[in-house]
Structure 1
Amino acid sequence: MVLFYFSSLGWAGWDVSSSPSIREGMPVLIDDDLLLEDDHGPSDAALISQWLRELPINGAHGTRTWQAYAFAMKSWIEFLASHKVRVLASRKDLKDGLSLYAQHRLSGDIGDRLSSSSWNMAVKIIAAFYRWAAAEGRVNAEPFSYASQNTVAS
């Protein structure tokens, strides 16, 4: 999986009729096989890239936010792929995948661990992708949702 940030520099030499309508600095994910679709439709990376391109119209205006969202989704998609699970797998497979991902990110190898706040942000981002996928008709229902809770020590 390759994550890069779009630049229109030199677009006139790309054999296209006009400048691509992708914002400068927008993250783009490409599968290692460079295919944008397969027998199931758009590749997982292409689908996530489509969602990433819509972030600015959904309230995420800053490039750092886009980068954080892209990195969280890249990590998620790579983890799922390592377990032979597609991004739009069944609800059960995705819930099982999230459980394994939590174990990996919270108590796995030191280099893979996230702090609790980073984990909460990653799950919030992943859940936002699936909300979008459900709204777009890509999945029948969100496989899981993110709910934050504030606790007060007494």
Structure 2
Amino acid sequence: MNFHTFLSRAALALSALPLSPAVHADDHEGRTAVAWPKAYVQECAACHVAYPPRMLPAASWARLMGGLDRHFGTDASLDPQDVQRLGQWLQDNAGRDARATVPEDRITRTARFEHKHRHIEAATWRLPSVRSAANCMACHSGADQGRYSEHGLRMPEGLSARQRAAWDD
């Protein structure tokens, strides 16, 4: 199959995807906001927040979609057609830095995440109100809508005085 045929087929497949009615506009890379496929929101948000594709480079999304049967210790397998369609959508909307390498393909191990959260103590991630660094909704009230602005932050319950001080830093 030549490249133009591939693009035509990919465009046709993506046009068949139902889109979420919400448009996710918190794009720190200056790209136009995109509507998220309904299947992406339904499948991914069943276990965790549906992360914006820009949070990982294309190579990480490809590895994650290729290993859904062992997705961080869980079988998150999908229909092969959904894997192809969602995988292509993730590729098309992935973070722009193609050279980026992400340890274990974890958003919480990206340079951006680590920089933005550098003042958060390890004990904070273990609070019952937080549970893990991957639980974005614990602090980012708009995470389920793809919004991670500092304007939408909320302080999780159970922070010590020192942790509250770091929060305001």
Calculate the TM-score normalised by the size of structure 2. 0.26
Calculate the TM-score normalised by the size of structure 1. 0.28
| Higher relative contact order, structure no. (Cα contacts within 8 Å, ≥ 6 residues apart) | 2
